[in-house]
Structure 1
Amino acid sequence: MNVPEGGTATYSVRLSAQPSGNVTVTSTAASGGDTNLTVSGGASLTFTSANWNTPQNVTVAAAEDADTTNGSRTINVASSGLTTVPVTATEVDNDPTTTQSLVVSATNVSVPEGGTATYTVRLNAQPTGNVTVTNTAASGGDTNITVSAGASLTFTTANWNTPQTVTLAAAQDADTTNGTRTINVASSGLTTVPVTATEFDDDPVTTQSLIVTPTSVTVPEGATAIFGVRLAVQPTANVTVTSTAATTGDTNITVTGGASLTFTSANWNTNQNVTLSAAQDADNTNGTRTINVASSGLTTVPVTATEADDEPGSGNTYITEFQAQYAKLKASASGYLSPEGIPYHSIETLMVEAPDHGHETTSEAFSFLLWLEAQYGRVTQNWAPFNAAWTLMENYIIPSAAGQPGGQTSYNPSDPADYAPEFNQPSQYPSPLSTSVVAGADPLANELASTYGNRNMYAMHWLIDVDDVYGYGTGRGSSLTECGDNTKRVTYINTYQRGPQESVWETIPHPSCETTRYGMSGQGFQPLFIQGTGSAQWRYTNAPDADARAVQAAYWALTWATEQGNQSQIASTLTKAAKLGDYLRYAMYDKYFKNPGCASPTCTAGSGKSSSAYLLNWYFAWGGAMDGAWSWRIGSSHNHGGYQNPLAAWALSPAGPTALRPQSPTAAADWNQSLTRQVQFYKWLQSAEGAIAGGATNSWDGAYAARPAGAPQFFGMTYDVDPVYHDPPSNQWFGFQGWGVQRLAELYYVTGNAMAKTVLDKWVAWAISETTLGTGSTFQIPNEMDWSGAPSASFNSTTGTPADNPGLHVSVRNRTNDVGVAAAYVRTLIYYAAKEPTSTLGISAKNTAKGLLDRMLLLKDSRGIVVPETRADYNRFDDVWSSGTQQGLYIPSGFSGVMPNGDTIVPGKTFLGIRSFYTSDPEWPKVQAYLNGGAVPTFTYHRFWAQADIAMALADYGSFFPAG
């Protein structure tokens, strides 16, 4: 474990089996080694028959010293009668480096048989002359593993701190073992760094057996957990596998799903899940029960299931509260999940915000599910739910090959899309489509097709109608394919299409797979958005912050699973996460691949990667004709500060873990550049007070219009106080502060990025100053904000630091006790405090995070942690379009269509008028009374993302600060 000089780090201890009496475990620093390293907390821990498998933390501190070495010391973890476990603590020095050494990105590398893997090398200090570094395979070990590139690297006074890549290869062989070999990274006069390379064998296993993962499962009391089962070898006939609870042990734990599974010659190597449930009881012990996984003639595999109790006194308070919150989120009775297991946007159906119905869901919700399951794996060491969540995401919100008819084989990267300008008002639509405006070249399509063997996109669409409330999944029988969807539920839909002023109240929901069956007869919905005759087509839109959050979750899953020695359990999912990051690079590009600084539709088109902003923009989209005759791809010219994810960029870059390295040749380098650019963007947008302002655009007014005179620019993009949408202004919501800066805080925690620290120091101080901790469950955090001024100067340096912005200001208009936003904010404070445990601001961040969490825990109900909220905006349900106010549902003259439920789409209709199903909602009478002149209605909403973020805030706090 690494301990920052002047700071602390923790490791956790638990027992492997339930004891009959109390067990005391001591952690004692050895007499030798770096005496600056000491045990400062948890030196003596007591485990009982109730808390034996709940991890307790030991804190190791590193005193400040004047040297520049990273000393180590052994901490002996011991208990009478048990084998002592040595923990190596290494000080990470923060003094200026004067002693030269080698910095290697990974000292344990997995190399697939017949494939390659990489690690990087750099120097830690500038040399006076050239330095040669060799990478040599040791004479012993698995000789199939060799250094295939980068055997000799040269570092100069200019490139000494730029990582250079070493490639290892593992030759194909006939055995079934995973051999290892040491690669020695060496340079004259410097300490050699050994890298352990392990071959992952791909040869077929010939002996049949049951593969069960994991074999130790924690089941939250009152909820469920799963483990996966598959066969080792393809069978010649069907194989039945049973999972049976032992007659002894905690009888509250039972098998409630997958008790009997059938494997065939087709599905033998696909995991099938067994579901365990733990009944609610009144005790506070964590009982165990063995589940025997068996099949005739095969060795039975025992699975140890442990109940995670949720009564007071059952362990680390915040970890216990995480488990209780997790159990509520996963319990079928709570209603967060659809029958398919998809997270709804909210339990409640009468819900209008970004989604226009509570039982729609978003890519955002899927990304929070992944992150939640990563945290569950962190606490329980059970990674089956994390893998299952990624499979669920692939099945339902990443369009399949069948869902992309024609496979985009007609796509021409040299002509990615026809131009259609955006307009500031919905009433200016439909937009004219132009073939005369030249789009730039798409530099990713051919590389991705070469890497993955096809032109299908691997990215989430942002919105699905889970319960098919609108009905686009019903009424099959059209002669046209419906994007491969053979169900009558869970349909791809879209809403926003008409510029920055189109609020949710002015949208017209339409199917992503447009057969022209609904909307205008024979033309569908396209004539609402684009001039001309509609045609049968499909189109998907990606929200990049969600895909980046999925990568972020995968990074933490890898980190926590590796700490447990369980990384092999999620290896295939990590490969998928790297692939998602490969395609996510479309978020870096201008909408029509125009170069930065474009101020006219006729500006120079991009070539190569010149049109990349290396930021995460608001969306990218792709689509084509149902018959595959034509297809297109676009990016977005608008970049919002709240959408950036520098932690994900780092994880996908050469500095990140090898397991998350995208396969495309230029992907890691793109993400390395994006990492720097994103952190610079935060700094360029930071107000004098500390909050992060809106963003920047490369297409003023969405039509490459002339830029405002004198407006500051960031790499050719013009500052925009509220990029993307204006109703309400996109950067008035404090939630984008919490989400965006939390990712920056994680980057700082992981890498110590100096510019990230500068931004965080100011932001954290500002946010805390705007936070009030009241009595009981009361608290107030910022809600809506107002902005004035602009960044002080344009910025265009690939390595520099943007200037401060004394003329860019924020003021808090009003405050809130929104629990979801508070959770995101708390997690920002937690990561900052974990990195700055002894600084005054770090201590204040920890105390504020704890204060908010403790107050939110007093707001529990049977399904989560919630507060009531008033919805004055629900007066817009029956708004009629007005040219004077430019509000209401605009339907252009001449358009006449129909929704699947028979509601007509004609001028004069309202939001409610094309969603008449809302009048049957149980909560509707409250809204109707309001529309009739009554009081503003109050609702208590259980949003999945918010409740998941609360759970993760509890897990983060309990893991970093187990003493409370």
Structure 2
Amino acid sequence: IYGMHWIQDVDNVYGFGNSPGKCEAGPADQGPSYINTFQRGPQESVWETVTQPTCDSFTYGGRNGYLDLFTGDASYAKQWKFTNAPDADARAVQAAYWASEWAKEQGKGGEVAASVAKAAKMGDYLRYAMYDKYFKKVGGCVGETACPAGSGKNSSHYLLSWYYAWGGATDASAGWAWRIGSSFSHSGYQNPMAAWALSSYADLKPASATGQQDWNTGLKRQVEFYRWLQSAEGAIAGGATNSWQGRYAQPPAGTPTFYGMYYDEAPVYHDPPSNQWFGFQAWSMERVAEYYHQTGDSAAKAVLDKWVAWALSKTTVNPDGTYRIPSTLQWSGKPDTWNAAAPGANTGLHVTVADYTNDVGVAAAYAKTLSYYAAKSGNAAARTTAKALLDGMWDHHRDALGIAVPETRADYSRFDDPVYIPSGWTGTMPNGDAINGSSTFASIRSFYEDDPAWSKVEAYLNGGAVPTFTYHRFWAQADIALALGSYADLFE
């Protein structure tokens, strides 16, 4: 499989030592180390996870490593397992497109050709994200045994799902391996810009016989998906699943469908609901705006016209340049069942903004969305607001390290959250932290106590003030740089 595993412990703080080509080399290994976290369904918050290695040779954890924390099998084999985050691979393809275009403008296309070819290869494999988890037929899939196995490509929903995953035995003579897709598709993960590049851009043509065709189908399906999920106000709702409750259960009567998949208000996780963060709106619509800018697709423009009008109506830029954008969204109602020939108006699907933020990473992604949309559509308000957000961040939130805002973290009370461990199960983390029925998020991550700012969290857990931190997150700094560059490229 040529795809990216979704998460790395970049300094091997957990100590598994699963750097490329190694299996549980231990705390002394110089990272990055591949890890896994979520494993136990939609209610499992990050605060309730047990971090595990991607290669489990039973060196750490319990007698079966970490495997029997999650399943009740009679016996276990030492094994490796990787999971892909499709939105990340698609973003890499999106970046490769621009790298290719900008390099060729300078007569230096050959300098990035090898990287662009790798992106095309990764896009080929990324089609695993288009398939039902167990490759069952898409549409009306009810009953674990009754739901039919797929044939040809009828187990493909042609959307970017939440993940695809693969693994196998560490014993090369064991003769088994596995590969799965995902039945859940979230609006925030879609990327029509990448789908268009993989279907239409020569430098990113996949090597497979049907790669371009599949991505062309996926491109149209993604744009339809946004239209199906667009609320009466303009924001984009959660998503859809081919496997109700993750087990092909019978959905409630009247559940709307999209090519047979069931509307899911908060796909994949519920703590917090996966549909409430405005950042998913900004990230996802930015890709739509880039695609619209490059192609002029009227279907994409129709989605953007309504979304931008809603987003601008919920954005405040003050006379001093400070700003407020949406943060937490709340949803009610459902979309109409999808009819490609005559899409419904979704008059029963509504969004409200529960609170607002000046978060710089989200504001940057939002500004980039407005910039690409304005450059193609000529919308003056979108351009003016994009510039105001970028100027506001630069003027008010710049420091010696980058651009960031203070965050008051009441959710850090959850450092004390209990972590469910099956009765009688005991084990240890690589650093010796005990894993048992008394474990909490913090107790199996004692390395946090070595952080210079831990005392602020500890005081809060002991009844003190809510702590405030200023984080310079890499993704946010990258989005800010890209937003500034995009605005300059488009307008200056």
Q: What is the TM-score when the length of structure 1 is the normalising length?
A: 0.49
Counterpart of 2:402 (choices 849, 864, 873) is: 864
CA positional deviation for 1:587 = 0.4
Alignment-derived partner of residue 30 in structure 2: 488
Letter in 2 for 1:871: R
More off after superposition, 773-782 vs 826-835: 773-782
Alignment-derived partner of residue 912 in structure 1: 442
For the residues of structure 2 that align with 1:953 and 1:525, how far apart are their CA atoms? Answer: 41
Alignment-derived partner of residue 398 in structure 1: none
Counterpart of 1:642 (choices 188, 208, 219) is: 188
For the residues of structure 2 that align with 1:484 and 1:633, how far apart are their CA atoms? Answer: 25
Structure 1 position 940 matched with structure 2 position 470:
yes
For the residues of structure 1 that align with 2:330 and 2:482, how far apart are their CA atoms? Answer: 30
For the residues of structure 1 that align with 2:154 and 2:377, how far apart are their CA atoms? Answer: 39
Letter in 1 for 2:451: D
Q: Is the 8 A contact 1:516 1:534 kept in 2?
A: no
Q: Is the 8 A contact 1:524 1:534 kept in 2?
A: no
Alignment-derived partner of residue 84 in structure 2: 542
Alignment-derived partner of residue 813 in structure 1: 354
What SS class does the counterpart of residue 17 from structure 2 fall into?
Answer: coil
What SS class does the counterpart of residue 852 from structure 1 fall into?
Answer: helix
Alignment-derived partner of residue 879 in structure 1: 417
Structure 1 position 528 matched with structure 2 position 69:
yes
Alignment-derived partner of residue 356 in structure 1: none
Alignment-derived partner of residue 232 in structure 1: none
Counterpart of 2:56 (choices 514, 517, 538) is: 514
- From the two aligned structures, give the one with the greater strand fraction: 1
What SS class does the counterpart of residue 815 from structure 1 fall into?
Answer: strand
Alignment-derived partner of residue 696 in structure 1: 240
Alignment-derived partner of residue 7 in structure 1: none
Q: Is the 8 A contact 1:680 1:802 kept in 2?
A: no
Structure 1 position 843 matched with structure 2 position 380:
yes
Structure with max Cα Rg? 1
CA positional deviation for 1:743 = 0.5
What SS class does the counterpart of residue 471 from structure 1 fall into?
Answer: coil
For the residues of structure 2 that align with 1:474 and 1:497, how far apart are their CA atoms? Answer: 18
For the residues of structure 2 that align with 1:865 and 1:700, how far apart are their CA atoms? Answer: 41
CA positional deviation for 1:481 = 6.5
Q: How has the CA–CA distance of structure 1 residues 916 and 773 changed in structure 2, closer, same or farther, with 3 Å as cutoff?
A: same
Structure 1 position 714 matched with structure 2 position 255:
no
What SS class does the counterpart of residue 782 from structure 1 fall into?
Answer: strand
Q: Is the 8 A contact 2:241 2:262 kept in 1?
A: yes
CA positional deviation for 1:558 = 1.3
Structure 1 position 828 matched with structure 2 position 365:
no
For the residues of structure 1 that align with 2:54 and 2:222, how far apart are their CA atoms? Answer: 31
Deviations, residues 455-506 of structure 1 (Å, cap 9, x unaligned): xx1000011111111111199xxxx962899943211110000001101000
Deviations, residues 227-279 of structure 1 (Å, cap 9, x unaligned): xxxxxxxxxxxxxxxxxxxxxxxxxxxxxxxxxxxxxxxxxxxxxxxxxxxxx
Letter in 1 for 2:144: P
CA positional deviation for 1:607 = 1.2
CA positional deviation for 1:564 = 2.2
Letter in 1 for 2:448: Y
For the residues of structure 2 that align with 1:489 and 1:665, how far apart are their CA atoms? Answer: 38
1:732-747 correspondence to structure 2 within 5 Å: 732-747=276-291
Structure 1 position 561 matched with structure 2 position 98:
no
For the residues of structure 2 that align with 1:918 and 1:567, how far apart are their CA atoms? Answer: 45
Letter in 2 for 1:920: D
Q: Is the 8 A contact 1:646 1:675 kept in 2?
A: yes
Deviations, residues 690-738 of structure 1 (Å, cap 9, x unaligned): 0000000011111111111111100111001100100000010000000
CA positional deviation for 1:874 = 0.3
Counterpart of 1:612 (choices 144, 152, 156) is: 156
Letter in 2 for 1:764: V
Deviations, residues 401-452 of structure 1 (Å, cap 9, x unaligned): xxxxxxxxxxxxxxxxxxxxxxxxxxxxxxxxxxxxxxxxxxxxxxxxxxxx
For the residues of structure 2 that align with 1:614 and 1:818, how far apart are their CA atoms? Answer: 33
1:78-117 correspondence to structure 2 within 5 Å: none
What SS class does the counterpart of residue 639 from structure 1 fall into?
Answer: strand
CA positional deviation for 1:775 = 3.4
How many residues are aligned here?
484
Deviations, residues 666-685 of structure 1 (Å, cap 9, x unaligned): 11100010000000000000
Alignment-derived partner of residue 430 in structure 2: 900
Q: How has the CA–CA distance of structure 1 residues 872 and 564 changed in structure 2, closer, same or farther, with 3 Å as cutoff?
A: same
For the residues of structure 1 that align with 2:351 and 2:58, how far apart are their CA atoms? Answer: 47
Alignment-derived partner of residue 753 in structure 1: 297
What SS class does the counterpart of residue 374 from structure 2 fall into?
Answer: helix
CA positional deviation for 1:908 = 1.7
Q: What is the identity percentage for the equivalent residue pairs of Structure 1 and Structure 2? A: 62
What SS class does the counterpart of residue 701 from structure 1 fall into?
Answer: helix
Q: How has the CA–CA distance of structure 1 residues 661 and 913 changed in structure 2, closer, same or farther, with 3 Å as cutoff?
A: same
Deviations, residues 141-170 of structure 1 (Å, cap 9, x unaligned): xxxxxxxxxxxxxxxxxxxxxxxxxxxxxx
Report which structure shows greater RCO (CA 8 Å, sep ≥6). Answer: 2
CA positional deviation for 1:793 = 2.3
CA positional deviation for 1:588 = 0.2
- Give structure 1 stretches of 5+ with no counterpart: 1-456, 881-888
For the residues of structure 1 that align with 2:68 and 2:185, how far apart are their CA atoms? Answer: 28
What SS class does the counterpart of residue 244 from structure 2 fall into?
Answer: coil
Letter in 1 for 2:358: N
For the residues of structure 2 that align with 1:550 and 1:928, how far apart are their CA atoms? Answer: 39
For the residues of structure 2 that align with 1:468 and 1:568, how far apart are their CA atoms? Answer: 35
For the residues of structure 2 that align with 1:957 and 1:581, how far apart are their CA atoms? Answer: 27
What SS class does the counterpart of residue 246 from structure 2 fall into?
Answer: coil
What SS class does the counterpart of residue 519 from structure 1 fall into?
Answer: coil
Root-mean-square deviation (Å): 1.6
Letter in 2 for 1:853: L
Q: Is the 8 A contact 2:329 2:354 kept in 1?
A: yes
Q: Is the 8 A contact 2:17 2:25 kept in 1?
A: no
1:368-379 correspondence to structure 2 within 5 Å: none
Q: Is the 8 A contact 1:649 1:671 kept in 2?
A: yes
Q: Is the 8 A contact 1:786 1:810 kept in 2?
A: yes
What SS class does the counterpart of residue 648 from structure 1 fall into?
Answer: helix
1:442-481 correspondence to structure 2 within 5 Å: 457-473=1-17
Q: Is the 8 A contact 1:468 1:488 kept in 2?
A: yes
For the residues of structure 2 that align with 1:770 and 1:488, how far apart are their CA atoms? Answer: 46
Q: Which runs of 4+ in 1 moved over 6 A?
A: 483-486
Structure 1 position 767 matched with structure 2 position 311:
yes
What SS class does the counterpart of residue 8 from structure 2 fall into?
Answer: strand
What SS class does the counterpart of residue 939 from structure 1 fall into?
Answer: strand
Letter in 2 for 1:851: A
What SS class does the counterpart of residue 632 from structure 1 fall into?
Answer: strand
Deviations, residues 557-612 of structure 1 (Å, cap 9, x unaligned): 11222222221221111111100100000000000001122111011111111100
Letter in 1 for 2:404: V
Counterpart of 1:672 (choices 213, 216, 239) is: 216
Structure 1 position 501 matched with structure 2 position 39:
no
For the residues of structure 2 that align with 1:713 and 1:545, how far apart are their CA atoms? Answer: 23
Alignment-derived partner of residue 600 in structure 1: 143
For the residues of structure 1 that align with 2:489 and 2:433, how far apart are their CA atoms? Answer: 52
For the residues of structure 2 that align with 1:949 and 1:515, how far apart are their CA atoms? Answer: 38
Letter in 1 for 2:453: E
For the residues of structure 2 that align with 1:568 and 1:949, how far apart are their CA atoms? Answer: 27
Structure 1 position 552 matched with structure 2 position 55:
no
1:199-598 correspondence to structure 2 within 5 Å: 457-473=1-17, 482=23, 487-521=29-63, 523-532=64-73, 533-596=75-138, 597-598=140-141
